[in-house]
């Protein structure tokens, strides 16, 4: 049938053909009494191919593929009785079933509804045929059986970056109701999650137009495309597909649940933002089955949850970076000041413990951060006070959304006096500050916020707006919208403070007393900080194990945050659970083995 060839050509060439400026000819039907019921012209909309979503190097994350549906074309005029229309359709369905070697479930009600309401359009009896099925149909495609080409969304990397890219679903519409001018020839898709949803209007493109005319006897006299569809714009992200793949593989190998975020500290670009477990957005094409969607919804590990930016956790000792900057910048301590790293200490009526059970002696700031001494930070945090700690944490981006163009980003929590009064009916006390000083209590951060804060420390104090999308452009590479690199502010810390922090974080990875040996490299200096924190009610308490930092320490190229979400009752630690995931990625990136693997393997699993 001509409509199929015409639409197939128009759709396939849509990405190269501009919309015509004028129509070469117009059919006219003289309106008389006899022609009022049968003579008519319809102009229907042709959905446009969605634009692509790519990584920073142009590698596709979401694109289109040509799909073929098997259809029946009813003869015009549409004057068959119900019995004859059903017999016609059933005979064609029988032929199709013999050629395909499988049954096709098509109800009589669906056949008649289509015939009465939109019988001059192809009636679909099988969708998204395999290549082998199309080949088996070739000999039988004559008369009323035909193949209708349409575009379907495809995610070529399957689950990689799936939670960022998102997925599409069919728009609701009058798919088998009475045909009207301006209706779509087949259902269009719209973004339902991720970037597909945020940039839906730009990805959708402009409809084409298909015109079909009938004479006074109801016979079709012509059908043609008067405007080909114009493809949607392409969205170019900041992601590096190779890094994203490595991050997801590291999570899959090590974590039952977790997240890894990698940011360029010199631009704020998000290079990888992985959550685990994840899902394959191809499961939603052309539509997800009820059973599969129920499986995803009921999975206790929640694969539909993008933990990297939509979940917040207590940061544990990684927050000591913010506490250290606050203490040094407020003048509460100097680099040379020493405090005792005792096994435990009393704050009010509560005994607070160090994660190591032996006295570590007097330590300065670099030594305390290297060994992650809790009791040292209790003392220094209380001396510094809650207000400076909250102020510097906010400067590093905690307690506020990063502003990525994705729905549902969590803002985390900085528990100031107002929050404490609202939630606990009191202001912040000494015990609260002690908890805060080691990243516990009511404090919550997202993995994305953590990576953003490490990027700011890495570059010496410039806070960049995190960026997930570089630009939106046409198929001919004309830029429609650009999202430039933007330095939002300088956090205002002294260069000496930032240099001291870098030294301490390098020692945390490489020095004998450090807690992150499993992320060290032979010839590249890694700066980082581990963290371990508990959250949830006591009977269901879980552990968040962190490792965050940047590399190379002297001239940072990557800032990162890794989160390992432990099971209820399990004992995991940042040094043994999160640091190895980053170590694996760094060794693949820099091609260097860990210089401390032997030492790390001999060390106790109980590392902060």
What one-character-per-residue DSSP string does 255-277 give?
A: -SSEEEEEE-TTT-BEEEEEEES
- Confidence band (pLDDT; 50, 70, 90) for 570? confident
pLDDT above 90 (res 280):
yes
SS3 307: helix
pLDDT above 50 (res 361):
yes
pLDDT digit string, tens, across residues 32-56? 444 445 678 889 888 899 999 999 9
- Which tokens is 144 given? 């009323």
The pLDDT of residue 359 is: 81
Report the share of the chain in percent with pLDDT over 70. Answer: 91
The pLDDT of residue 216 is: 84
What's the per-residue H, E or C state across 91-102?
HHHHHHHHHHCC
The pLDDT of residue 350 is: 87
* CATH numbers and ranges of domains, the chain: 2-14+29-237 (3.90.1310.10), 241-292+305-602 (3.40.710.10)
- Confidence band (pLDDT; 50, 70, 90) for 546? very high
CB-CB neighbours of 344 under 10 Å: 12
**Across 91-100, 253-262, 349-358, which has the greatest mean pLDDT?**
253-262
Region of poorest pLDDT, from 175-184, 366-375, 469-478: 175-184
Q: What is the mean pLDDT of residues 398-407?
A: 97
CB-CB neighbours of 382 under 10 Å: 19
Q: Dihedral angle at the C-alpha atoms of 438, 441, 444, 445, nearest 10 degrees?
A: 10
Helix or strand run (H / E) with residue 530:
strand 527-535
The pLDDT of residue 223 is: 84
- Confidence band (pLDDT; 50, 70, 90) for 9? very low
pLDDT above 70 (res 593):
no
For residue 362, the number of C-alpha atoms closer than 13 Å in the C-beta half-sphere is 4
* CA gap 3, 148 in Å, rounded: 9
The pLDDT of residue 23 is: 40
The pLDDT of residue 212 is: 87
254 contacts 238 by C-beta, under 8 angstroms: no
* CA gap 440, 541 in Å, rounded: 13
Mean pLDDT of all residues in the chain? 88
Cα Rg, the chain, nearest whole Å: 31
Q: Which of 473, 409, 15 is nearest to 208 (CA)?
A: 15
The pLDDT of residue 19 is: 39
User: Which are the contacts of 506, defined by CB distance < 8 A and separation ≥ 6?
Assistant: 525, 526, 527, 553
pLDDT digit string, tens, across residues 107-163? 999 999 999 988 888 899 998 899 999 988 887 787 799 998 888 999 999 999 999
Q: Which of 328, 343, 429, 338 is nearest to 384 (CA)?
A: 328
* CA gap 403, 484 in Å, rounded: 14
The pLDDT of residue 35 is: 40
pLDDT digit string, tens, across residues 212-253? 888 888 888 888 899 999 999 999 999 999 999 999 999 999
The model's pTM is 0.88
* CA gap 345, 324 in Å, rounded: 20
Q: What is the mean pLDDT of residues 374-401?
A: 96
């Amino acid at each position: 049938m001509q409509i199929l060839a015409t639409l197939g050509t128009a759709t396939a060439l849509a990405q190269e053909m501009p919309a015509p400026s004028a129509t070469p000819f117009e059919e006219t039907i003289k309106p008389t009494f006899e022609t009022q019921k049968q003579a008519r012209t319809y102009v229907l909309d042709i959905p446009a191919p969605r634009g692509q979503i790519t990584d920073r190097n142009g590698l596709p994350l979401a694109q289109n593929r040509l799909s073929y549906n098997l259809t029946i074309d009813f003869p015009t005029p549409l004057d068959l009785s119900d019995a004859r229309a059903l017999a016609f359709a059933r005979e064609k369905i029988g032929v199709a079933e013999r050629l395909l070697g499988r049954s096709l479930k098509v109800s009589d009600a669906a056949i008649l509804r289509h015939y009465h309401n939109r019988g001059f359009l192809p009636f679909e009896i099988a969708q998204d045929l395999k290549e082998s099925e199309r080949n088996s149909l070739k000999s039988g495609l004559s008369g009323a059986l035909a193949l209708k080409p349409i575009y379907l969304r495809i995610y070529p990397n399957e689950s990689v970056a799936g939670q960022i890219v998102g997925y599409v679903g069919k728009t609701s519409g009058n798919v088998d109701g009475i045909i009207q001018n301006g209706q779509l020839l087949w259902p269009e898709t719209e973004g339902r999650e991720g970037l597909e949803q945020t940039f839906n209007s730009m990805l959708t493109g402009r409809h084409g137009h298909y015109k079909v005319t009938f004479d006074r006897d109801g016979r079709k006299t012509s059908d043609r495309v008067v405007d080909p569809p114009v493809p949607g714009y392409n969205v170019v992200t900041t992601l590096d597909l190779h890094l994203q793949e490595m991050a997801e593989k590291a999570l899959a190998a090590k974590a039952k649940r977790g997240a890894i975020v990698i940011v360029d500290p010199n631009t704020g670009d998000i290079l990888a933002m992985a959550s685990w477990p994840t899902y394959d957005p191809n499961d939603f094409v052309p539509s997800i089955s009820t059973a599969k969607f129920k499986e995803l919804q009921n999975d206790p590990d929640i694969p539909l949850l993008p933990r990297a930016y939509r979940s917040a956790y207590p940061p544990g000792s990684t927050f000591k970076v913010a506490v250290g900057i606050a203490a040094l910048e407020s003048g509460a301590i100097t680099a040379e000041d020493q405090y005792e790293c005792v096994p435990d200490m009393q704050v009010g009526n509560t005994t607070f413990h160090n994660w190591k059970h032996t006295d570590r002696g007097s330590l300065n700031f670099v030594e305390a951060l290297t060994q992650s001494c809790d009791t040292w930070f209790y003392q220094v945090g209380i001396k510094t006070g809650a207000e400076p700690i909250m102020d510097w944490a906010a400067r590093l981006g905690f307690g506020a959304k990063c502003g990525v163009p994705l729905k549902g980003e969590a803002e985390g929590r900085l528990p100031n006096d107002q929050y404490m009064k609202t939630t606990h009916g009191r202001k912040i006390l000494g015990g609260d500050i002690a908890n805060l000083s080691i990243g516990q209590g009511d404090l919550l951060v997202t993995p994305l916020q953590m990576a953003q804060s490490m990027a700011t420390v890495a570059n010496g104090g410039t806070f960049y707006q995190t960026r997930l999308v570089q630009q939106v452009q046409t198929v001919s590479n004309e830029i429609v919208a650009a999202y430039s690199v933007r330095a939002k502010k300088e956090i205002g810390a002294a260069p000496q403070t930032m240099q001291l922090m870098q030294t301490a974080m390098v020692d945390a990875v490489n020095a004998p007393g450090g807690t992150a040996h499993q992320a060290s490299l032979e010839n590249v200096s890694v700066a980082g900080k581990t963290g371990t924190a508990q959250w949830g009610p006591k009977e269901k308490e879980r552990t968040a194990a962190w490792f965050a930092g940047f590399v190379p320490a002297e001239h940072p190229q990557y800032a990162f945050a890794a989160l390992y979400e432990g099971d209820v009752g399990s004992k995991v630690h940042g040094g043994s659970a999160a640091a190895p995931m980053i170590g694996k990625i760094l060794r693949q990136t820099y091609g260097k083995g860990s210089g401390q693997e032997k030492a790390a393997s001999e060390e106790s699993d109980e590392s902060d």
